[in-house]
Amino acid sequence: MDGNINKDNTKAALDKFGKYLVKEARKNLTRKKKNNTKALYNSLDYEVNVMPNSLTFDFLMEEYGEWVDKGRKAGKMPPVKNKKGEGILKWVEHKRIQFRDNSGKFESYRTTAFIIAQSIKKRGIPATKFYTRPFNLGFAKLPSELTQAYALDVEEFLDYTLNELNVTYKNGSK
């Protein structure tokens, strides 16, 4: 130890929380049939960073995951295709969805995607809460687990510090 509190127990508690979030969010995506291309499912991850004076916890997912989780209010049209080539067009192509025109011919994927985007603008998309629900449930349990883990880290730090002081005074250094 270098005079800083070792945060191994706290990190372990946050790792447990992160694994729970990823597992439950993936389960919810599958259960709610929102796991079409597996891109969002596979992108779910978390990071716990331990610095000398702080801890950070980040939950990672594809950018569009926010819309799947929170839904989308009516009024604004979503992108048919974004800069990365993703969006409703990619989803329509993957699902092989094509509407028919009045004469019975298939519309292009781009036209189909545009029609779906207009519908989303008009009606919105309901929220799935695939991530929000497990986060809230897990976060409710987290404070007591974090407090206990941090207390263990502080206890270990104090034991180490006291042992170092005892060794220093026994050797007559001070």
Give pLDDT tens digits for 80-97.
887 776 788 988 998 899
Q: What is the pLDDT of residue 169?
A: 66
Closest CA to 87 of 70, 111, 64, 71: 64
Q: What is the pLDDT of residue 51?
A: 78
Element (H, E) at 90: helix 88-95
Mean pLDDT across the chain: 85
Q: What is the pLDDT of residue 22?
A: 96
Burial class (CB in 10 A: 0-12, 13-18, 19+), 35: middle
- Rounded Cα distance between 26 and 142, Å, is 20
Closest CA to 15 of 59, 74, 71: 59
Q: What is the pLDDT of residue 6?
A: 65
For 9-156, where are the E strands, in sequence order? 45-51, 54-60
Predicted TM-score (pTM) of this structure: 0.72
Those residues with Cβ within 8 angstroms of residue 28's Cβ, 6 or more apart along the chain or in another chain: 128, 129, 130, 131, 133, 134
- Rounded Cα distance between 35 and 26, Å, is 9
For the chain, where are the E strands, in sequence order? 45-51, 54-60
